[in-house]
């Protein structure tokens, strides 16, 4: 397993198991298989609705002595309905309870968006829009307090643009360790990556395989299929590996942590082994040319009619 260093010198496994879209019925088995195969990094979130099942698998693995808590890197995320400073610690405690843990390795603000307590996603057509306000500073201070209390060892953000990251850095007592963003050859995020590197912040790439199993509401017609890209396929043939492995090797070789999701034993193993593949400079250059700024997770669900958010304000792009 490859590791990356965080700004405080600690290590994070370069490849982890993504659990978004893994149903509660199957996620436990997938996590168990992943632990058996050697995965030591698990990416979770309260909104995925499967933390209790993941926690049951961890508890079993600890009991059986398969793995020790300190050998794992476990990330979770604060949902947008709990940004109010008074709501942060209860949300974290609930996640810790569900995962059966005393602490997280990393706790992220899931989105730079604030909605009312109890709301999952805003729904179009609702009379009362669920958007509300909480200052980023207040939310971040509550996360800093969680670090002080030992409830999480690192804090960070997700879906933050370069501009929002700068804003956060200007107010942070404890700096963000990670920004987790969509990142793959069609959305290479080179400016954000360069900025993050200059600030000793790691980027984690989500949807590294193009998240073909996203709910229908998240999908667009005729979207580009990353796993079927001919350039990726040609490199896979050259390397004698799969297209997915090329995508994951590329992410790691670029210095980003990657969290492919799978609930299939063969693919779990294949993905883990991608960390051992080294692409040539020519192969990296061919992939660099694929950037087309395509987001599979556009964030459109935050921009329903009447929302204070637009895609431009979300990503700080015109």
Mind telling me the catalytic residues?
Answer: 48
**Listed residue (100, 36, 27) closest to 262, CA to CA:** 27
Comparing CB distances to ligand A2P, the nearer of 60 and 270 is: 270
Minimum distance, C-beta of residue 206 to ligand A2P, in the bound complex (Å):
7
- Asked if 213 is part of the footprint of ligand A2P (rule: CB under 6 A), the reply reads yes
Region of 84-92, 195-203, 208-216, 278-286 interacting with ligand A2P (CB under 6 A): 208-216
Query: For the purposes of burial, counting CB atoms within 10 Å of the CB of 278, is it exposed (0-12), middle (13-18) or buried (19 or more)?
Result: exposed
Give the angle subtended at the CA of 105 by the CAs of 177 and 212, to the nearest 5°.
80
CA distance 82 to 92: 9
Residue 292 CB coordination number (10 Å): 10
- Upper half-sphere CA count for residue 273 (Cβ side, 13 Å): 12
Minimum distance, C-beta of residue 117 to ligand A2P, in the bound complex (Å):
28
Comparing CB distances to ligand A2P, the nearer of 139 and 256 is: 256
Comparing CB distances to ligand A2P, the nearer of 163 and 225 is: 225
- Asked if 54 is part of the footprint of ligand A2P (rule: CB under 6 A), the reply reads no
Minimum distance, C-beta of residue 44 to ligand A2P, in the bound complex (Å):
14
Comparing CB distances to ligand A2P, the nearer of 202 and 244 is: 244
Per-residue binding string, ligand A2P, 16-35, x by CB under 6 A, is --x-----------------
- Asked if 142 is part of the footprint of ligand A2P (rule: CB under 6 A), the reply reads no
CA distance 318 to 313: 8
- Asked if 41 is part of the footprint of ligand A2P (rule: CB under 6 A), the reply reads no
- Asked if 37 is part of the footprint of ligand A2P (rule: CB under 6 A), the reply reads no
Minimum distance, C-beta of residue 26 to ligand A2P, in the bound complex (Å):
9
Pairing assessment for the beta strands 3-5 and 11-13 based on DSSP bridges: antiparallel
CA distance 22 to 202: 25
What's the start-to-end Cα distance of the chain, in Å? 39
Minimum distance, C-beta of residue 209 to ligand A2P, in the bound complex (Å):
3
Q: Return the residues of window 260-299 that contact ligand A2P according to CB under 6 A.
A: 260-264, 267, 270-271
Among 139, 188, 207, 307, binds ligand A2P (CB under 6 A): 207
Q: Which residues bind ligand A2P (CB under 6 A)?
A: 18, 207-213, 227, 242, 244, 260-264, 267, 270-271
């Amino acid at each position: 397993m490859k590791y990356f260093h965080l700004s405080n010198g600690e290590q994070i496994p370069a490849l982890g198991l993504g659990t978004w879209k893994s149903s509660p019925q199957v996620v436990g088995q997938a996590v168990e298989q992943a632990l058996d195969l050697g995965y030591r990094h698990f990416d979770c979130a309260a909104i995925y609705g499967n933390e209790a099942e993941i926690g049951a698998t961890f508890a079993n693995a600890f009991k059986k002595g398969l793995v020790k808590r300190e050998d794992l890197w476990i990330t979770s995320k604060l949902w947008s309905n709990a940004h109010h400073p008074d709501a942060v610690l209860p949300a974290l405690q609930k996640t810790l309870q569900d995962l059966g843990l005393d602490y997280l390795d990393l706790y992220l603000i899931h989105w730079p968006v604030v909605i009312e307590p109890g709301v999952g996603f805003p729904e179009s057509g609702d009379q009362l829009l669920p958007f509300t306000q909480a200052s980023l500073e207040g939310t971040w201070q509550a996360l800093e307090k969680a670090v002080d209390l030992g409830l999480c060892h690192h804090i960070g953000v997700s879906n933050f643009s370069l501009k929002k990251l700068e804003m956060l850095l200007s107010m942070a007592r404890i700096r963000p360790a990670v920004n987790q963003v969509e990142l793959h050859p069609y959305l290479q995020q080179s400016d954000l990556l360069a900025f993050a590197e200059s600030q000793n912040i790691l980027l984690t790439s989500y949807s590294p395989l193009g998240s073909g199993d996203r709910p229908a509401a998240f999908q667009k017609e005729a979207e580009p299929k990353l796993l079927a890209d001919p350039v990726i396929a040609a490199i896979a043939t050259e390397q004698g590996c799969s297209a997915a492995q090329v995508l994951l090797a590329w992410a790691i070789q670029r210095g980003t942590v990657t969290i492919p999701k799978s609930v299939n034993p063969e693919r779990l193993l294949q993905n883990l082994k991608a960390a051992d593949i080294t692409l040539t400079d020519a192969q990296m250059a061919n992939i660099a040319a694929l950037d087309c700024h395509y987001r599979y997770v556009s964030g459109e669900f935050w921009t329903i009619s009447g929302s204070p958010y637009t895609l431009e304000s979300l990503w700080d792009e015109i």
